[in-house]
A and B are shown apart, each in its own frame.
Chain A
Amino acid sequence: DQQVKQNSPSLSVQEGRISILNCDYTNSMFDYFLWYKKYPAEGPTFLISISSIKDKNEDGRFTVFLNKSAKHLSLHIVPSQPGDSAVYFCAASAGGGSQGNLIFGKGTKLSVKP
């Protein structure tokens, strides 16, 4: 049973527009959520995170929104740039922010067209 779901395998947006990547989870024990970005032939790199005590976290062009009642989070990229083209993984953990036992979604491939 998938605990972290990214239902859109791919997303294509125009440069300069907003990219919205979605993630749903089923385990109410998750209390820390992260987004990772992965380029081909590289390992995933951390992008942004949010604790369950918040509903929004912003870092430059990247904002993550958390809706605990809906068990849903989203990553907004504004404005999108061609260099943002990558696979984005949503991940979740339980137990006070422990990063070790991360549960990942299947990923969404973002393509930003010039």
Chain B
Amino acid sequence: EAQVTQNPRYLITVTGKKLTVTCSQNMNHEYMSWYRQDPGLGLRQIYYSMNVEVTDKGDVPEGYKVSRKEKRNFPLILESPSPNQTSLYFCASSFYRGPGTEAFFGQGTRLTVV
């Protein structure tokens, strides 16, 4: 089954404690990205990657890091989480180009930073 898998689904952590949210896709997609969803703000892109070892900032990259060492994996790293990073996070993947190659989203990770 084609899917994007995020782990964990729920996470409560304390300010400053480094964490990683994993994302894996099995569709051989070149493009992967991370979004956060906040009430009244919709989905905002954090980082994206066009292929292995190619990453770039999205609209709200501050406080986040990513890496793309393998095509299937795109982890999101919070080196020193803060309460304003409490949010619902989604990983997405797609082929890079072409009509009909819609982005597939993971189930989401609800992060709470206290």
A25 proximal to B (CB < 8 A):
no
- Distance in Å: Cβ of A35 to nearest Cβ of chain B: 10
**Contact size range, A:** 20 to 34
The answer to whether A42 and B108 touch across the interface, beta carbons within 8 angstroms, is: yes
Question: 1/0 per position for B87-104, CB-CB distance to A under 8 A?
Answer: 000101011111111111
Known contacts A43-B90, A99-B95, A101-B45; is A106 also within 8 Å of B40 by CB? Answer: yes
A49 proximal to B (CB < 8 A):
yes
Instruction: Please pick, from A41, A43, A99, A103, the residue contacting B101 in the complex, using a CB distance under 8 A.
Output: A99
- For residue B67, which residues in chain A have a CB less than 8 angstroms away from its CB? none
The answer to whether B99 and A97 touch across the interface, beta carbons within 8 angstroms, is: yes
Question: 1/0 per position for A80-114, CB-CB distance to B under 8 A?
Answer: 00000000010000011111111111110000000
Q: Tell me the nearest residue of chain B to A32, going by C-beta.
A: B99
The answer to whether A51 and B99 touch across the interface, beta carbons within 8 angstroms, is: yes
Instruction: Please pick, from B43, B50, B104, the residue contacting A89 in the complex, using a CB distance under 8 A.
Output: B43
- Distance in Å: Cβ of A75 to nearest Cβ of chain B: 15
- For residue A36, which residues in chain B have a CB less than 8 angstroms away from its CB? 105
User: With A and B bound together, what is the CA distance between A100 and B48 in angstroms?
Assistant: 8
The answer to whether B90 and A44 touch across the interface, beta carbons within 8 angstroms, is: yes
A77 proximal to B (CB < 8 A):
no
The answer to whether B43 and A101 touch across the interface, beta carbons within 8 angstroms, is: no
User: With A and B bound together, what is the CA distance between A6 and B43 in angstroms?
Assistant: 12
The answer to whether A98 and B97 touch across the interface, beta carbons within 8 angstroms, is: yes
- For residue A101, which residues in chain B have a CB less than 8 angstroms away from its CB? 33, 45, 48, 58
B44 proximal to A (CB < 8 A):
yes
- For residue A6, which residues in chain B have a CB less than 8 angstroms away from its CB? 42
- For residue A26, which residues in chain B have a CB less than 8 angstroms away from its CB? none
Q: Tell me the nearest residue of chain A to B31, going by C-beta.
A: A100
User: With A and B bound together, what is the CA distance between A106 and B99 in angstroms?
Assistant: 23
The answer to whether A97 and B98 touch across the interface, beta carbons within 8 angstroms, is: yes
- A binding-site residues for B, Cβ under 8 Å: 6, 9, 32, 34, 36, 41-46, 49, 51, 89, 95-107
Given A96-B97, A101-B58, A107-B43, 5 more pairs with CB closer than 8 A: A49-B102, A97-B98, A97-B99, A101-B45, A106-B42
